[in-house]
Structure 1
Amino acid sequence: MTTLPVRPVTDVPARPQPAAPRREHRLRSLDGLRLVAALMVAVYHYAGRGGEVARAWGTSPAEQFPTLHSYAAYGCLGVQVFFVISGFVICMSGWGRSLTSFFASRASRLLPAYWAAVVLVTAVFALPVVAYEAVSPSDALLNLTMLQMPLGVDRVLGVCWTLWAEVRFYALFALCVVLPGVNRRRVILFCAGWTLAAALTRSVHEPLLDLVLMPEYAPFFIGGVGLHLLHRDRRDGYGWGIVAVSFLIGQHYAVRDLWNAADPHAFAHRTSGGIVLVVAFAFVAVGAIALGLLNGVNWRWLTTAGALTYPFYLVHEHLGWPAIQLLHRTWGLPSYATLPLTVAAMLILARLVHGWVEKPLTPRLRGVLNKAR
């Protein structure tokens, strides 16, 4: 009697394993663009607007910089550049991550330097020699939550309104894309749905919808997400469509909000064409990075530049005022020397915040949040 051969266990086909999340190499050119956007905003705050900075200079920056101030007024659009970058980066970092991991990554990235900046600005403004009024201790403590904007509390950091927009974008992306699982179809639906909902929000005049959907900033975040689709596949027609529509809507809102030709008291008159050009720069620059056209821009120092951008962005405005006052009015340095020296001083301070606060606290906070499931 013959017996049938027994099939070896090793011949059993292995079950297919899920694909590992795609690992993205660091785009150093994106780090460089971050620094460019931060410097745009800094030049705007130091030379492109009036208000508190005029107290630091002693006179209007328009008198200090008769030519530069007209160009510096466009520096506020560095925020739109940041938003396009953020859309690209958040889509890239959220791909293949759980909701817990995504939350831990974003919170650990934002909070340590932010807490340090709030404490620094509050402490410096409390000094008797500084001629700027600090917020109340209660308001300063509430600012640590990053919820001062919706609660109507005085801000310690002038730039924190942009962080509030970022947080709302993170929440929308997390709930609509990361929670159910990131894939191309879901990202496309998210971009299309948000674009349509934000457009309809303008016609219903509902403050809550304005707060959640941010119609004036949504096109920049959505455009960045579309650019990440092109980074994954430059032939993606939906990605190209998302980017094109986002640019067209985004430039409309930027011109509407920043074109001040009719205001006779405006510090500087921006042209609509100039605003559109800066918005186009935001999309084209991130697009060139997404399509790999700037892969050759891979210098190591750009990684350091990218690391310093966030703490520099947080501290430069309010701590720049006493620095300008010290250099220009107390020490008598000319304006065109004071401006770069103030920027350099804020970069040095950002390096200290990065080294002493972000480096030790960011991985620890991320670990704690990842474990708190």
Structure 2
Amino acid sequence: MGHETSTPSRMVELDALRGIAAVAVLGYHFTTRYQEQIGHVGGPPVDLLAGKYGVYLFFLISGFVIFMTLERTRTAADFVVSRFSRLFPGYWAALLITSAVVYTVGLPFQRLPVGQWLLNFTMVQEILGAEHLDGSYWTLQIELFFYVQMLFWYMLGQLRRIHWIIGGWLVLATVEGLCEKHHWHFSYWVRELMILRFIPFFAIGILFYRLHRYPAEWRLNLTMLLCALLAIAVGERPIFLPVALVCCAIFALFVRGHLRFLDSRFFVFLGSISYALYLVHQAIGFVVIHHLEQHGVPAWLACGTAALATLALATLLHTTIERPAMQRIRDAWRASRMQALSPR
């Protein structure tokens, strides 16, 4: 493996990057995406199309963090509890809050039939054929399928062969991309369950973790990184190569220690509420913008008000439900495990 360097247990800069990415996605949704779906009165205040690619930074962060987490995980059950407590309580609460808004004062097109709404509680509603109550939910299934893949390799004891696994991912992703471009058949289930359109971005995150943690194997990781970029260049639409390069540049700065300025109170706060903000901003924000613009509020002010409202809501969700629920679940799991280990 090579010489190990110390890795801080809490990557404050990564949390900050997650927060910045969430705000970038919010900006895109409130300006460009709202304009596409509903239409701002008098046109959008600005075009923040680039913000949509913030989700790819999420994927790199997940690759980095999940591999780091699994290296320190004692059992598969520990990992499952950790991920469940991190994702689902906040998601279910956000889903109920969004439902309350959408089904009372929301726009007609936002309301789903009851069957589709219920499927949203699974977090994998897209593969089950249902629409998302909030358009932002599409990335959650992808994250979940990545966790399942990583857990699978962990349980087989194969994470030490991660470079071979990444190699397989990149070959499959390239083949799928070429099939898509040339209108050849490729298995829908393989593509979706293995998240082949996004797996190179997760792979890049893992490789940056390896670069950070195991400096001695830098040649191998750098070579694999170039292979991941090549897979994106060959298999994806042209825009995704510059997106990947920008993500790589950000992560290069991070692993070299040049993002320590993000360790500030503001960015720590933004990072802490990033998941809640991602979950509640789009559908609710669209309702706020629509009603304000209908009452003559300028688009820029409507967008700003929606941003502040969803930031406040995300803070409330994080402090009253997401964080306490996560802590309770993890404490209960630790207690049950200790009880099971204690002598009768």
TM-score by length of 2: 0.85
1:109-124 maps to which residues of 2 (within 5 A)? 109-124=86-101
Give the C-alpha shift of residue 201 in structure 1: 4.2
Cα distance in 1 for residues equivalent to 2:325 and 2:15: 21
Cα distance in 2 for residues equivalent to 1:100 and 1:124: 36
Aligned-residue Cα RMSD (Å) equals 2.3
1:219-254 per-position Cα deviation (integer Å, ceiling 9, x unaligned): 100000001001102342222122222233235555
Quick check: 2:22–2:278 contact (8 Å CA) kept in 1?
yes
Deviates more, 1:35-44 or 1:310-319: 35-44
CA spacing shift, 1:327–1:106, aligned 2, 3 Å: same
Give the C-alpha shift of residue 289 in structure 1: 1.3
Counterpart position of 1:151:
128
Alignment counterpart, residue 248 of structure 2, candidates 283, 288, 297: 283
Aligned length: 322
Counterpart position of 1:47:
31
1:189 aligns with 2:164: yes
Cα distance in 1 for residues equivalent to 2:65 and 2:22: 16
Counterpart position of 1:298:
263
Counterpart position of 2:326:
362
Counterpart residue identity of residue 301, structure 1:
F
- SS of the residue 1:240 aligns to: helix
1:238 aligns with 2:220: yes
Quick check: 2:174–2:235 contact (8 Å CA) kept in 1?
no
Counterpart position of 2:284:
319
Counterpart position of 2:311:
347
Counterpart residue identity of residue 173, structure 1:
M
- SS of the residue 1:333 aligns to: coil
* Structure 1: tracts of 5 or more residues without a match: 1-21, 257-271
1:331-357 per-position Cα deviation (integer Å, ceiling 9, x unaligned): x33222222222121111100100111
Quick check: 2:210–2:221 contact (8 Å CA) kept in 1?
yes
1:27-71 per-position Cα deviation (integer Å, ceiling 9, x unaligned): 2221221122112211211112344342xx345xxx233xx32xx
Give the C-alpha shift of residue 313 in structure 1: 0.6
Q: Which runs of 4+ in 1 moved over 6 A?
A: none
Bigger radius of gyration: 1
Cα distance in 2 for residues equivalent to 1:253 and 1:319: 35
Quick check: 1:234–1:291 contact (8 Å CA) kept in 2?
no
Cα distance in 2 for residues equivalent to 1:354 and 1:217: 28
1:134 aligns with 2:111: yes
Cα distance in 2 for residues equivalent to 1:301 and 1:182: 39
TM-score by length of 1: 0.79
Counterpart residue identity of residue 103, structure 2:
A
* Structure 2: tracts of 5 or more residues without a match: 1-5, 180-184
Counterpart position of 2:232:
250
Quick check: 1:46–1:53 contact (8 Å CA) kept in 2?
no
Cα distance in 1 for residues equivalent to 2:54 and 2:233: 13
Quick check: 1:125–1:131 contact (8 Å CA) kept in 2?
yes
- SS of the residue 1:95 aligns to: helix
Higher relative contact order (CA 8 A, sep 6+): 2
1:205-220 maps to which residues of 2 (within 5 A)? 205-220=186-201
Tell me the percent identity. Answer: 28
- SS of the residue 1:150 aligns to: coil
1:306-351 per-position Cα deviation (integer Å, ceiling 9, x unaligned): 1111111111110001111233332x33222222222121111100
